[in-house]
Amino acid sequence: MKKRKSWIKWIIGLIIASILLATCAVIAIIQIFDAAKTTLPDPTNQQQVREKFIGEIGEVAREVAAEHDLYASVMIAQASLESHFGTSGLGSEPNYNLYGIKGKYDNQSVKMKTQEDDGKGNMSTIKADFRKYPDYHASMEDYAALLAKGTSWNKDIYADTFKTNARTYQEATEALTGSYATDSNYAEKLNALIEQYDLEAYDTSATKKIVRAKFFDNVEDIAKEYNISETLIRQWNHLTTNELKKEDKVILYISQ
């Protein structure tokens, strides 16, 4: 009888020990995942910031580009690249200088550090005056005016960026390489952004359409129904996820 009780106690002890070990293992795994969440960057966060920025300037670019014979896709890509998607000190509020244009705008400017070439390939950091704008619209209008006016030494330096002379946005970005920017890969960088975020959709006029999400609808469903990319829908509606609720208003721009 004593042996039996001892055996039962031994079994109970073994079970308790096993439960404790399993609990510790689960806690350890949870801690590992929690650590991963806090130390690893969220790959979607950067995408959300970029799409939100494009959504803020996209329709402004479509309007300004149409007025000035430019490619809106190129304007958006340049603004994104030059201002780090609106997060740089120069490109964000209260400066709104999306294109790194120096000088003054309506007698308003801001001093920023920049790299200058002395003409012999030697780079140095200096402080220069950059134009300060009241909003993104003013920045884009001024950029379009700059392209039309050219520089003091060559008024036609940007002529090949206009739709009249550039048959495609690729020809326009190529024309900006070596003229607007000295980076030999400038066109490739702009083209990559245009392709990644479907910016070519902004190069044509479009009609605004508002649809309402149906039960169980998400961005992917609406994208398929209207043959529009998901990234464009997120841009237009400032969405951070593909989730929608029934009766949510969803803004679309249907190309004409």
Mean pLDDT score, 162-181: 97
pTM for the whole thing?
A: 0.78
- Cα–Cα distance for residue pair 29/35, rounded to 1 Å: 10
Long-range contacts of 180-184 (CB under 8 A, 24+ apart): 180/78
User: pLDDT band for position 7 (50/70/90)?
Assistant: low
CA 46 to chain centre: 8
- For 193-240, what is each residue's pLDDT tens digit? 999 999 999 999 999 999 999 887 899 999 999 999 999 999 999 999
- For 110-157, what is each residue's pLDDT tens digit? 999 887 665 566 778 888 999 999 999 999 999 999 999 999 999 999
* Fold match, 59-203 / 206-255: no
Pair of tokens at residue 7? 């055996």
**Distances in whole angstroms, Cα of residue 21 to Cα of each of 17, 32, 175, 224:** 6, 17, 67, 50
pLDDT at residue 42 is higher than 50: no
> Any idea where the domains of the chain sit in the sequence?
59-203, 206-255
Homologous superfamily in CATH for domain 206-255: LysM domain (3.10.350.10)
Mean pLDDT score, 145-170: 97
Tell me the pLDDT of the chain averaged across its residues: 86
- Cα–Cα distance for residue pair 211/156, rounded to 1 Å: 44
User: Could you tell me how many residues make up the chain?
Assistant: 256
- For 90-100, what is each residue's pLDDT tens digit? 999 999 999 99
CATH number of this structure's domain 59-203? 1.10.530.10
pLDDT of residue 22: 54
User: pLDDT band for position 27 (50/70/90)?
Assistant: very low
State the DSSP string of 93-153. Answer: TTT--SS--BS-BTTBEEEEEEEEE-SSS-EEEEEEEEE--SSHHHHHHHHHHHHHH--SS
Mean pLDDT score, 18-44: 45
